[in-house]
């Protein structure tokens, strides 16, 4: 086997119904030269790794498969970080173990790397059964084939998959390993929705990006996934609070407009109209901090949280003199 060019990282945790299909899609690639696949065993409680090992025992192809096992369950972020640190390739490609890649995935990515060798990241399109996400994951947008304009890159990444934005995912992105290490672009362990923070940090550092206009990935939504595991929108928003504060702490003066837009959208996606008092209190606190920096949101969040709060304070202030008057009158009556 020649020198490794692409290192595929597949974190595995409780995906026994999907892991074989995932690995089969990797093995079935039309391009296999210089490819390794690192399977990170994150200590699940089902037969995922048993099925993975059974598959590898029968595999006879060119891709170099290997397994790295954690001593205990550490989460998706840690599994991806383990993959980065052990990758031998020039590029790293993350694949979630309940998803699959299309047969020409590595072929299309490799073609782009040869055409634009200085690109630090290559983004490609994805297919999904989720109707709402079909337009979001496609690369059939007004994107150039290549850009080395940092202003355009940060704006496009922080649009978060809108009409002209890049979807917020870690999977299906071919990234240079040297670039990840140089800027310490690891995933924060113990954080829910780690892709959001990673994408936010990535946007600050990218100077060259290329696009593969083909669909290379199949994204599966399933009831047991992290995103769909929340019982209520309050529960999901509570889990996102550390993420919101972490992103707020990473704001930079020259990127505040784009960063604010990204943060609003992240909060919006977590169902901000929930009823949990802690979530609403913390969201108001974030809004106030940004307003104090003279950053005014364009989102409807300000109408949900900030304006009602202002009117509530004004209402209370108006009532205080009336209440004081009533109390004084009652006191005088008792004296007489």
pLDDT in tens, 193-203: 889 999 999 99
Task: Quote the pLDDT of residue 226.
Answer: 53
Residue 161 has pLDDT above 70, yes or no: no
CB neighbour list of residue 133: distance below 8 Å, 6 or more residues apart: 219
Alpha carbon 161 to its chain centroid, in Å, reads 11
Q: How far is CA 208 from CA 40, 142, 229, in A?
A: 29, 17, 36
Judged by DSSP in three states, 22 sits in helix
Whole-angstrom distance, CA of residue 189 vs CA of residue 78? 6
pLDDT at 168: 86
- Residue 216: per-residue pLDDT: 96
Instruction: Give pTM, 2 decimals.
Output: 0.83
What is the per-residue pLDDT for 102? 97
* Residue 216 φ/ψ region, left for φ over 0, alpha for ψ in the -120 to 50 degree band, beta for the rest: alpha
- The crossing angle, in degrees rounded to 10, of helices 277-292 and 233-248 is 30
Segment 300-317 shows an average pLDDT of 54
Inform me whether the pLDDT recorded for 317 exceeds 80.
no
Q: SS3 breakdown of the chain: % helix, strand, coil, rounded to 5? A: 50, 15, 35
What's the rounded mean pLDDT across residues 248-260?
83
Are 261 and 158 contacting, i.e. CB atoms less than 8 angstroms apart?
yes
Give pLDDT, residue 240: 83
Average pLDDT, integer, range 315-330: 53
Looking at residue 132, its pLDDT comes to 61
For the chain, list the domains and their CATH numbers. Answer: 6-219 (3.90.550.10), 230-310 (no CATH)
* pLDDT greater than 50 at residue 220: yes
């Amino acid at each position: 086997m020649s020198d490794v060019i692409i290192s595929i990282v597949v974190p595995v945790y409780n995906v026994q119904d999907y892991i074989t299909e995932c690995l089969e899609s990797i093995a079935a690639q039309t391009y296999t030269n210089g490819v390794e696949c690192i399977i990170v065993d994150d200590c699940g409680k089902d037969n995922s790794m048993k099925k993975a090992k059974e598959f590898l025992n029968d595999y006879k192809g060119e891709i170099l498969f290997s397994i790295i096992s954690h001593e205990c369950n550490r989460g998706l972020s840690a599994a991806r970080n383990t993959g980065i640190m052990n990758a031998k390739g020039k590029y790293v490609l993350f694949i979630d173990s309940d998803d699959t890649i299309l047969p020409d995935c590595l072929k299309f990515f490799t073609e782009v790397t040869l055409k634009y060798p200085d690109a630090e990241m290559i983004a490609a399109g994805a297919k999904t059964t989720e109707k709402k996400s079909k337009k979001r994951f496609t690369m059939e947008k007004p994107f150039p084939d290549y850009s080395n304009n940092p202003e355009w890159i940060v704006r496009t990444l922080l649009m978060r998959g809108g009409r002209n934005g890049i979807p917020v995912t870690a999977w299906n992105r071919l990234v240079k390993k040297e670039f990840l290490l140089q800027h310490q672009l690891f995933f924060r362990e113990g954080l829910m929705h780690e892709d959001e923070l990673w994408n936010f940090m990535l946007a600050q550092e990218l100077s060259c990006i290329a696009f593969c206009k083909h669909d290379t990935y199949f994204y599966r939504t399933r009831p047991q996934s992290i995103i769909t595991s929340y019982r209520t929108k309050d529960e999901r928003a509570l889990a996102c609070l550390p993420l919101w504060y972490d992103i707020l702490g990473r704001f930079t003066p020259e990127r505040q407009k784009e960063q604010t837009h990204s943060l609003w959208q992240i909060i919006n996606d977590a169902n901000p109209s929930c009823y949990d008092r802690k979530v609403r209190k913390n969201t108001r606190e974030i809004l106030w901090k940004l307003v104090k920096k003279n950053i005014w949101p364009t989102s409807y969040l300000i109408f949900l949280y900030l304006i009602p709060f202002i009117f509530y304070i004004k209402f209370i202030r108006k009532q205080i003199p009336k209440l004081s008057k009533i109390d004084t009158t009652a006191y005088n009556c008792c004296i007489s």
